[in-house]
Amino acid sequence: MKIILILGNRLSKSGKMTEILRGRLDKGIKNYNKNDIFLVSGGNIAKAKHTEAYMMKKYLLKKLPNARIITESKSISTKENIKFSKNILKNYKCEVLLVTSKNHLKKVNKLIKDLDWKLTS
């Protein structure tokens, strides 16, 4: 079992997901095995009807109706995505696969290092 942590991306004002966010979710789905758990992280930066985490969960459940999904919906920045997710994950003792976009990776790696978070994957 592993936890697949997928970082959010700002929704449009109408609440639609970006191609970037769908790409992250699809990458998470590709790496999913039966007993894995998703952790989706993203608040409501765009002041849309729903949070990024809600829309991400909805998308995942369309593709994987029986998936276990934890939502973190308070974060409004990448730093908060990492910080709040780290806090949730301290209750789990398993591998973590972090999914983000290639152009976001340098920033995410720096934040992980700054928060002294040791990921296994």
The pLDDT of residue 120 is 53
Residue 55 neighbours by CB distance under 10 Å: 23
Give the whole-angstrom CA distance, residue 29 versus residue 32. Answer: 5
User: Which residues touch 113 (CB under 8 Å, ≥6 apart)?
Assistant: none
Tell me: pLDDT of 121 over 50: no
The pair of three-digit structure tokens given for residue 61, joined into one six-digit string? 């459940």
Give the residue with greater pLDDT, 33 vs 49.
Answer: 33
The pLDDT of residue 109 is 84
Q: Is 77 helix (H, G, I), strand (E, B) or coil?
A: coil
Mean pLDDT, the chain, integer: 91
The pLDDT of residue 96 is 92
> Where does residue 42 fall: left (phi above 0), alpha (psi -120 to 50 degrees), or beta otherwise?
left
Give the whole-angstrom CA distance, residue 106 versus residue 3. Answer: 21
Reduced 3-state DSSP string for 50-75: CCHHHHHHHHHHHHCCCCEEEEECCC
The pLDDT of residue 56 is 98
Give the residue with greater pLDDT, 11 vs 119.
Answer: 11
Q: What is the pLDDT of residues 70-107, one digit of tens each?
A: 999 999 999 999 999 999 999 888 899 999 988 888 88
Q: What is the pLDDT of residues 38-61, one digit of tens each?
A: 999 999 988 878 999 999 999 999
